[in-house]
A = this chain, B = another copy of it.
Amino acid sequence: MGDTADGLQPVPEPSLDEQIAVYQREFQDLDPQVEKVVSALSRLNRRMNVAYGRQTAALGISNAEWEVLKALVISGAPYRMGPSELAKQLGLTPAAMTHRIDRMTAEGLVTRERDESNRVRVIVELTAGGRSKWLDAMRAATIFEEDLLQDLSTEERGVLGDMLTRLLDRVEDLQSRN
């Protein structure tokens, strides 16, 4: 018996267009143009996360930890944020944030201390080591990202960034009105 043992084909991974063609057969009122955009977005993101994951793993941190480092750097000097603030930005529950900060503190990437001027609050602060890890990850990431966009001209990059920003505004708008 050959490759296809009756019920199960190998199916390595259907191409985007194949996938959409099947969807159209199964679900008539589907706009293939819309579906192509959202399917590509979703696949692209999964692939990119895999790529980032490999890079951060090579640096001895996890993708999750890199997210925290990024948020702290983005907050600007002196690189301090509260756990719930971090949690909100990363889309996590405060409980998960507590655990992540535990781990990152143990690894020396951040410090955690009580805010003495308001003892309910906790201040998470980036350490020099954490900042240096961020830099390393950033260098690797930008190389990958430049590589990813290499086939797009400068104009195309601008157009793409603009359209994605508009989608982002739109989805934030949709979500704020519940």
Contacts and interface: CB of A to CB of B under 8 A. Distances in A.
Interface of A: 1, 5-14, 16, 19, 22-23, 25-27, 29-31, 33-38, 40-48, 50-51, 73-76, 78, 80-82, 85, 88-89, 91, 115, 117-118, 121, 123, 135, 138, 142, 144-152, 154, 156-161, 163-168, 170-172, 174-175
23 contacts: A7-B123, A8-B80, A8-B81, A14-B74, A14-B75, A26-B73, A27-B142, A29-B142, A33-B154, A34-B142, A37-B145, A40-B161, A41-B44, A41-B48, A41-B164, A42-B45, A42-B48, A44-B167, A47-B168, A47-B175, A151-B166, A156-B163, A160-B163
B164 A50 contact: no
B117 A171 contact: no
A6 B114 CA distance: 13
Contacts of A30: 138, 142
Contacts of A156: 163
Contacts of A91: 46, 50
Nearest to A147: B174
Contacts of A41: 41, 44-45, 48, 164
Nearest to A163: B160
Contact of A175 (B19, B26, B50): B50
Given A22-B73, A74-B14, A115-B7, A167 B145 contact: no
A19 to B, nearest CB: 5
B121 A5 contact: yes
A162 to B, nearest CB: 9
A161 B33 contact: yes
